[in-house]
Structure formats: structure tokens, C-alpha cells
Structure 1
């Protein structure tokens, strides 16, 4: 049985994180959040992810690059540094001829069981 919850959580706001109904979650799903932010914003997001994902959990990032992916590379560097077993898959929806099908990506980051919080 799967139970899911969705909660707003301002990145880097540890008071808001501490007020979440659970302290840690099995899966953290981020979609439509990584677009041309500054390094300080990505560091706040990473701090929030570290605090809220359970050891042995997963961080899933759905990403569609627009323009240059280099603008968001800093966040991917943070994620792969923290969770080096991460991998990326191309998401394909609909017809292969769809112009931007290969631009939708899923990044999956397994969190080691020994992660300390």
C-alpha cells in the first residue's frame, strides 16, 4: 500500500521543514523546479532535500531543459556529488516524432542507507 502526501516547503527554511508532518520521506519528487535559479537557491533546495529524504530513499527530479542545460548544471553537480549513484533517463511521451520528447528527463538518485542527517 502506498500513502502519498504533498506539502509546500520553502527551500532552505528549516523551520518549515521541521513543521512537516513527517521528518523524513521515502521519496522526494521535484518537478518543474530547476530553471535558471541562482547557486544560493540550488544550495537551499539541496539543504532541504538532505534533511527530508530518508536513508535508503530516492530523490526524483523531472527536468525539461529549455535553452541551455548549463544554466542548471550547478544543481545537477550538487545532486551527483551527494548521490553519486544517480542516473538519468529520457522520458518519451507520445510519438517519437514529437519535437521535444528527448528534452524531458528523469533523474533518479538513490540515497545510501548510511546517510546521516
Structure 2
């Protein structure tokens, strides 16, 4: 289940921001991490994220971390893919009668492939 986690952290300088992103991305299941600098929050998106582990790691590296919200992310892409599956697909190669495929022979069956056709005798 994909989820979006927002955690409030103290982002005082560039070093703290870098440390927060590296720590968040290091947790299993994290797909994306983004900073909201004006609110001093980090927004983490992922699949099966352990929120307690993520918060504890951020507290260990930044000394302050508080969970603001955990919300599930709806998969809009999957709904679009399911709609496309309903369309019929063309069958190739074309079939004749009893399910036997049509085979087109483009070369002469009496042509000997061992001889080079460009040699002049």
C-alpha cells in the first residue's frame, strides 16, 4: 500500500536539509522524499514505509522529528491501465479457416542456397 508521510523536522541550514533527505531515503520502502522548507517539513512517499523507524532515524540524526500525517496514496495510473485492457487487440498473422496460420513463401523453393548467385562462370 502506497502512503504519504509528512514529518515536521528542524531545518536550520543546508547541512540539516541534506542530512534529512539522506536519512529519509535510507529507510526501506521510500520512493520519494521532498522538503517543504517554509513549513520545516519533509514529505516522504513510498510503499510499506515503517513510520516509526523513519521517525526514530530522523530524531537520531536531526534531534527533532514529529509525525504530522500519514495518508494512503490512491493509484490513479492503475485505473487508466485497466480501461485500456478492455480494447480488442488485432490478431497477427491472419488465420485461415481452422486456425492454421497463413505462411507466405517469398523465395523460390528450387533455389540452391549453397551456390553464390553473383559468381560468373
TM-score (norm 2): 0.28
The structure with the larger Rg is: 2
